[in-house]
Structure 1
C-alpha cells in the first residue's frame, strides 16, 4: 500500500493479471541535481532536443511567464499568458517548442531563433498532444474550452471538433486495440472522452475532475483524478484504481513495456506495473513538484523531477544490490494470514456448537435462513429516490455501510441508528443523484439483537440504473407532471426488438409495467426525482409508424439518453429531428454578435499597438533628452508618456473585456453544437460539427440553426 493512502483504500484489479515479470528488485538511484534558479509554473515542464545532434534538455515556464532553458542564460519572453508547453519534432533532427497561451498557439524554433508559426486560438490552449490520430498525418492537438484544434508542422489547421466541456488534459492511445490511435481527453465534468478521428467513440464516467492522462502501454492508458485516484484502462475496460490522499503531478510510460512512472505533487515518485498498479520501486524529493519528464542520457532513461522552487533531480532505474526478493517468505506470510483467519472462523463455529439451549436463547441467535433485501423505493410526493434495506424475521439492523463510486462524498455512506435501542428491521436511505451514470452499490448490512454481543454481516450488490432519477408516473401522481416544450424525434431502428429491455435497464421502473413499452403505441410520463425541482420526461412511442419521441427540456439529458439507446441496441448511425426553441434563439444571438465582437477586437488590438508604440517612442526621446542634458524637454516627454501610458492601459482593459466576452460566447456556441451532435449517433453526429463549422467559416450563419434542428443531411 502507498504510504500516503487512506486505510480504506481499495485496489480494483481486472481479470487480466498478466504483465512483465521482474525476478530482481529494482530501485531508483539519484544521478544528478541542480537548480534552474527560477520558480516554476505548475505543470509546465518538458524535455526536448533543441539542437541538431543534441541531447535532451529541460525547458520550463517560470511564474514570471518566461520560458527557461537549462544551460542557457537567455529566456524567452512571451507577451501573452502561458498555460502549457510541449515539444514536437518539427526541426531537422531536433524539436521545436510549442507554447499554448490564453489566445494562441506558438511554435518556436530555438536552434534558428525564429517563430515557425503562430495561430490564434480564441478560447486559449490548456494542453497539447502530438502524434498520429487515426489515418491523419502527425500533428499537434490543442485542447481548449469545449473544442480541440489540430495543426500540422506548417501551422495549417488540419483538425477541429467540439467537446462537452473544457479540455484539461489529453493523450493519444490505442483505446480499442484496432491498431490506430485515438485521442483521449479529460474534462472537469468527470468524463474521459475518446475520439476516433473527429467522431466521439466513447465516454467514460469517473468520480472527479480528470487531471492527467497518459499512454503507458499498448492498448492501455493511465488517468488521475483531482481526488487522488489513479488507475488504468485496458482495451475499453478499467483494469484497476488506487485512491490516495495526495494529487498526481505527472504520469508517463517508462522504457520497459508495462511500466509507468507516477509522480505525486508532494514529492513521491512511484515506478508501477501498468497492468495492476503494484509498486516496483519508490523514491521522493523533499519539495513540492511542478512536473516531471523522461530524458535520455546516452543509453539511460532518466526520470527528471522539477520542483516548484526550480530544483531539478534525476533518477535512474537499476537492479537492487541487496539481492532478489524472497518470494517464498512472502507466500508463507500470505498463507499464514489465511490460516489464522480460517482458524478464527472455525473457533466461532465450535463455540456455538458447545452452547447449551439456555445460552443460545440468551445469545439471541439469528436464524440461518435470514435474508436481507435491498430495493429502490420512490416517493413521488417528496420527489425522492431511496434505498430500502429490509431484514427478514424482524432482525434489527444495527449498521449499514454502502460503497458507491461517485455517489457519496468519500465514495461511502454509513448508517447508524440514532439510538441502539431504536434499531429496526427496515430502513430507507435517501439517494441524491447528480449525474446520469450507472453505478454499483455495494452494501454491507450488520444484523443483530440490541443485547447481542455478535453481529451477522450480509453483503449485497445492486446496480443503480443510469437514469434512475426518473420514475414512471402512475395515474394518482399525474398532477406532478407538466408537459416539456422541447423534444426530439427519430425512427425506431430495425435492431430494436424489445424497447422494454432498454427501459428496464436504464430507469427505475416496476418490471411488471415494462412490457407496456413494447405495445403498438403509447405515451409514458416520468417524474424527475431530486430534492430540488426536476424537469418532467415523456416518451411517445409508435411501433406501427416506427417513431420514438422524447419530450424533455434538458438537451444534455436527451443527448445522454440517445447515446444510451444507441449503445444498448448497437446502433452505428442515427439521425433525429430536434426542437429546442430557446437554444436556437440563443445560438442565433451568439452568431449575430460574433462578427461585431471580432471587428471590435481587431480595432482595439490596433489601437493598443499604436499606444504601445507611442510610449516606446516617447521613452526613447526622453532618454535622448537626458543624454544631451535637456531636462525641460525630458520632463515634457515624461508628462506625455504618463498620459499615453494611461491611454494604453485603458485600451488594454477594453480589449481584455471584449476578448473575455468573445471567448465566453464561442465557448457557449461550441457547447450548443456538441449537445446537438450528441442527439445523433455516428456519422450524422460528426457531420453536425463539420457542417456548422463550415457554415460559420463561410459566413452562412443563417443555416446553422437549421443544421442543428434537422441535421446535416437536410442541407
Structure 2
C-alpha cells in the first residue's frame, strides 16, 4: 500500500481505495533535540502552558515518581504512585497539571503553586480526556476501573458512569457526525465503547486490547491495538487498518491537512494519510519511546517525541524539497513491476500453447472452470465448528492458508497434507472460537495434481458470524440441550419479520432452517459449540403476548445478543426484564455499599 512500508508491516482488510485528495508533497522534518536528563515513565508526557502568556513546555513523570518541568528546577513530589498526567485549561489563560494516581486525581496550579483540588478515585486513574462531552460543560474525564469520572475546574463531580471493563485509553470525538462530541473509550476486553453523555451508544469489538484512541475528524477516530494494529472508524464502520509488529505509543491528527502522525514505541514516527493509512514520510528516534505530544500552534504544529531515557526530538510537517522527484521515481518503479508481472504471465500462456497433447496429459492442467467452495460445517456429535474447503473436479488441495485477525495464534493458519500423496479435494479445518465477535476469514487455497510442478491459487473471503459458537438443534440432537435458568424478556419488535435475517447474519445456521424463524412463534433450541459446549441457548417467541425471551446463563453473551438484535432492527429504546439469579447477591452487595456512601473495590471482593 505504501512505498515506505517495512517488511514487518502489512496491510489488513478494510483498507480504503479512495484516491488521495490531499497534498502528498509533505514530509516529517526533525527540527530540534535535547535531553531531560531523567528516565521517563511510559505514557506520562504532556505539553502545557503553565504561566499566563507563557510558552508551551514539556511536563513529564520520571521513573522516580516525580513530575518534572523542562527548563526549570521545579519538580512535584507525589506520595502516591502516578499512572497518568494531563493538562487542563483551568487557570486564567494557562493550564493546570492534572495527575492521576492509584487512588486519586490531583489538579495542581504551577503558577500559583497550589493544589486546586484532590479527589479520591477508587482503584485509581488510568487515562484522561479533556473537553466538552455532548451538552455538558467542559471537564476533565478520568478513566478508572469499570467507571468514568468527570470533574470541572473547581473539582466538582460533574459526570460519572460505569463501563464493562477498565478504561485504559479514551478520547472525545464526534463519533456519529451529529455535531456533538461523544466519549470513546478503550478497554483490555477488546471493546471500544462510545458514550453519548452518560449513556452507552455503541460497542465495537476488536481483536486485542485497545491501547490508543484519537479524534481524526467529524465522524472519524483512530485506534491502535496491543497486537500492532492501527486503523480508523468512520461513521461506525472501519475504514482501514494496518498491522505491524511494533506497538503504537501515540496518534495525532492534522484535521485540516487530512493527515495523522503515528508514533511507535520502538522509535518509528510515521506521517500518514488519515483516510487510508498510506505513509507519506517516515523518521525515527534512536531509543524506545515513552510518549509524545502535539503542540497547539495550528499554523506550525510540532510533534515532540520523548524517549524512555529522557532524550527528546521534535518534528514538523513541512513541504518536501524533493517530493516531486521521489514521486516520479516511485511511479516508474511501480509500473516497472507491473510490466514484469504481465510479461511473466504472458510467458506462461505461450509455454502452454506450445505443449503437445502428450505433454499436456503429463502436465495435469487444471480445468479453467475449477472452483473452490469455502463453507462452515457444524457437527453436533463432536460439538465442533469447522471450515470446509472443497475443490471441484476432485482437484487435490495441496495447501490452505487462512488469515483471521485474533482467531489463530499468529493471526494465520496453514494446512498442508501430512504426505503429498495424501492430498484430497475436501478438507475440514476445526475452528475453536473464544469470543463472540464477527471476523473475516481470508483463505488462499493451493490446487494442483500431486505430480504437477504448477499450482493454482484460489482466494476466498468468508465472514464468521458473531454468535457462531451456537448452532440450532433438531430433535435428533436435543439430548445435548440443557435448559438455562437465566433469561431476558422484551417485547417483540414490529419489525420482527426480519428476525430470520438477524439469525442468518448472527449464527451459523443452514439457510433452509432459517425460514422457521419467519413464523415468529415457538421455542428454538441452540447448542453451544466448543469451547462453549456446556452452555445452551433458547429463543422463545410468544405471539399472544408479543414477547421474545432469550434463555442463556452467560449475562455478557445475552447482553451482546440484545444489543445486536436492537441494532439490526434499528430499535432505539427497548424495555426488558432479566433474571440472573447468580448475580442477585452481588448486585445487592454492590448497591448496599453505595447506599452507605462507600465505593466498590472489585479487587477486594472475592465474590464479585
Task: Tell me which residue corresponds to 2:151.
Answer: 151
CA RMSD of aligned residues (A): 2.2
Matches within 5 A, 1:428-447: 428-447=428-447
Task: Tell me which residue corresponds to 2:192.
Answer: 192
Distance in 1, matches of 2:585 and 2:603, equals: 17
Task: Tell me which residue corresponds to 2:601.
Answer: 662
Report the Cα offset of residue 494 of structure 1: 1.1
Distance in 1, matches of 2:30 and 2:251, equals: 19
Measured against aligned partners, the alpha-carbon deviations of 1:96-141 in whole angstroms (never above 9, x if no partner) come to 0111111111111110111111111112110000011111111111
Matches within 5 A, 1:308-707: 308-322=308-322, 324-519=324-519, 521-531=521-531, 533-592=533-592, 598=598, 662-664=601-603
Report the Cα offset of residue 183 of structure 1: 0.8
| C-alpha distance 15-136 of structure 1, shift in aligned 2 (>3 A) | farther
Report the Cα offset of residue 521 of structure 1: 2.1
Contact 2:134–2:180 (CA<8 Å) still a contact in 1?
Answer: yes
Measured against aligned partners, the alpha-carbon deviations of 1:631-687 in whole angstroms (never above 9, x if no partner) come to xxxxxxxxxxxxxxxxxxxxxxxxxxxx9x834268997xxxxxxxxxxxxxxxxxx
Larger helix share, 1 or 2: 1
Task: Tell me which residue corresponds to 1:28.
Answer: 29
Measured against aligned partners, the alpha-carbon deviations of 1:52-80 in whole angstroms (never above 9, x if no partner) come to 00000111111111111112213111111
TM-score, length basis structure 1? 0.81
Contact 2:400–2:443 (CA<8 Å) still a contact in 1?
Answer: yes
Task: Tell me which residue corresponds to 1:655.
Answer: none
Report the Cα offset of residue 168 of structure 1: 0.3
Task: Tell me which residue corresponds to 2:271.
Answer: 271
Report the Cα offset of residue 11 of structure 1: 6.8
Distance in 2, matches of 1:111 and 1:130, equals: 20
Moved more, 430-439 or 402-411: 402-411
Number of aligned positions between the proteins: 606
Report the Cα offset of residue 364 of structure 1: 1.1
| C-alpha distance 363-487 of structure 1, shift in aligned 2 (>3 A) | same
Contact 2:497–2:520 (CA<8 Å) still a contact in 1?
Answer: no
Report the Cα offset of residue 315 of structure 1: 2.4
| C-alpha distance 442-662 of structure 1, shift in aligned 2 (>3 A) | closer
Larger strand share, 1 or 2: 2
Measured against aligned partners, the alpha-carbon deviations of 1:562-614 in whole angstroms (never above 9, x if no partner) come to 0110011111110111011110122223444677895xxxxxxxxxxxxxxxx
Is 1:129 matched up with 2:106?
Answer: no
Task: Tell me which residue corresponds to 1:83.
Answer: 83
Task: Tell me which residue corresponds to 2:183.
Answer: 183
Distance in 1, matches of 2:296 and 2:482, equals: 64
Unmatched 5+ stretches in structure 1 = 599-658, 670-715
| C-alpha distance 7-398 of structure 1, shift in aligned 2 (>3 A) | farther
Report the Cα offset of residue 297 of structure 1: 7.5
Distance in 2, matches of 1:155 and 1:250, equals: 28
Report the Cα offset of residue 296 of structure 1: 5.4
Task: Tell me which residue corresponds to 1:624.
Answer: none
| C-alpha distance 222-207 of structure 1, shift in aligned 2 (>3 A) | same
Matches within 5 A, 1:29-108: 29-31=30-32, 33-108=33-108
| C-alpha distance 492-193 of structure 1, shift in aligned 2 (>3 A) | same
Measured against aligned partners, the alpha-carbon deviations of 1:1-58 in whole angstroms (never above 9, x if no partner) come to 5565426554742254444223x34341232x22222211100000000000000011
| C-alpha distance 4-333 of structure 1, shift in aligned 2 (>3 A) | closer
| C-alpha distance 8-450 of structure 1, shift in aligned 2 (>3 A) | farther
Measured against aligned partners, the alpha-carbon deviations of 1:169-189 in whole angstroms (never above 9, x if no partner) come to 000111111111111111111
Matches within 5 A, 1:172-321: 172-254=172-254, 256-295=256-295, 300-321=300-321
Task: Tell me which residue corresponds to 2:16.
Answer: 14
Contact 1:295–1:303 (CA<8 Å) still a contact in 2?
Answer: yes
Report the Cα offset of residue 329 of structure 1: 3.9
Moved more, 491-500 or 81-90: 491-500
| C-alpha distance 498-276 of structure 1, shift in aligned 2 (>3 A) | closer
Contact 1:4–1:246 (CA<8 Å) still a contact in 2?
Answer: no
Distance in 1, matches of 2:94 and 2:155, equals: 17
Measured against aligned partners, the alpha-carbon deviations of 1:328-350 in whole angstroms (never above 9, x if no partner) come to 44333322322222222222222
Distance in 1, matches of 2:28 and 2:502, equals: 51
Report the Cα offset of residue 468 of structure 1: 0.6
Task: Tell me which residue corresponds to 1:710.
Answer: none
Contact 1:132–1:139 (CA<8 Å) still a contact in 2?
Answer: yes
Moved more, 212-221 or 351-360: 212-221
Report the Cα offset of residue 239 of structure 1: 1.9
Report the Cα offset of residue 434 of structure 1: 1.2
Task: Tell me which residue corresponds to 1:140.
Answer: 140
| C-alpha distance 118-175 of structure 1, shift in aligned 2 (>3 A) | same
SS at 2:163's partner residue?
strand
Contact 1:597–1:662 (CA<8 Å) still a contact in 2?
Answer: no
Distance in 2, matches of 1:121 and 1:549, equals: 39
Distance in 2, matches of 1:26 and 1:128, equals: 30
Moved more, 349-358 or 546-555: 349-358
Report the Cα offset of residue 397 of structure 1: 0.5
Distance in 2, matches of 1:292 and 1:148, equals: 24
Distance in 1, matches of 2:513 and 2:444, equals: 30
Measured against aligned partners, the alpha-carbon deviations of 1:218-246 in whole angstroms (never above 9, x if no partner) come to 43221111111111222222222211111
Contact 2:469–2:532 (CA<8 Å) still a contact in 1?
Answer: no
Contact 1:123–1:666 (CA<8 Å) still a contact in 2?
Answer: no
Specify the structure having the higher radius of gyration (Cα).
1
